[in-house]
Amino acid sequence: MNEEAKRKLLRMIPHALYVLTSKADGQTAASTVSWVTQASFHPPLVAVGIKKETHTFEVTKRAQGFTLNFLGVDQKEVAQKFFKHVGPEGNQLGGEVFQESPVLKHPIFPKMAGFVECRIVQTVDRGDHAVVVAEVLEAECGPLEGPLLLSTTGWNYGG
Ligand SMILES: Cc1cc2nc3c(=O)[nH]c(=O)nc-3n(C[C@H](O)[C@H](O)[C@H](O)COP(=O)(O)O)c2cc1C
């Protein structure tokens, strides 16, 4: 394997950034993720790579669902708040006001580009991240323009 070429090419796969949230049994998770793609029109499916052995994966698995909150173009500092686990404080997560999503009751952030609510239909558990396939049950646009592209942040995740 040419490791250098693998890293360089896999990092060319374009990504945006999202805050994935989930809630189950009184536990809340909120994590910035980038490995997200649409995977079907009918039904509308998305696939997300979620790191195993994380609080986020445990909560998401228990909930069998999550919400993808689409960050606005200028919300790099917001993305940064969810690289580590943060618990809710009142109506805030990482200092950002959240509400409950309408269908699955996961946290949503009203000041972003929008959110999709997803119910997990299958999990492929073959690597250090699980590929979680989920059906989009509801969607709502927010006040900000999105997306926040990983390529504009100077950060890398992949390779
Ligand atoms: C630029 C960037 C992109 C990331 N993308 C993902 C991702 O797609 N999936 C993922 O599980 N973690 C991703 N992470 C790591 C998570 O933000 C987070 O650190 C990890 O899920 C820890 O979860 P926990 O706090 O629930 O234990 C990314 C981190 C960075 C810096």
Q: Using one digit for the tens of pLDDT, what is the confidence trace for 54-68?
A: 999 999 999 999 999
pTM of the predicted structure, to 2 decimals: 0.97
Of 115, 119, 109, 40, nearest to 81 by C-alpha is 109
CA of 22 to the centre of ligand 1 (A): 14
Domains of the chain: 3-152 (2.30.110.10)
pLDDT band at 15 (very low <50, low <70, confident <90, very high): very high
130's CB contacts (< 8 A; 6+ apart) are 49, 50, 52, 57, 123, 124
Pocket, ligand 1, Cβ cutoff 6 A? 29, 31-35, 49-51, 54-56, 83-85, 129, 155, 157
Contact 116, 20 (CB under 8 A): no
Q: Ligand 1: which atom is nearest the Cα of residue 84?
A: 25
Helix intervals (H) in the chain? 3-10, 55-63, 76-80
User: What pLDDT, on a 0 to 100 scale, did the predictor assign at position 9?
Assistant: 98
Q: Are 141 and 129 in contact (CB under 8 A)?
A: no
pLDDT at 19: 98
Q: In the structure encoding, which two tokens stand for residue 116, read together?
A: 């999709």
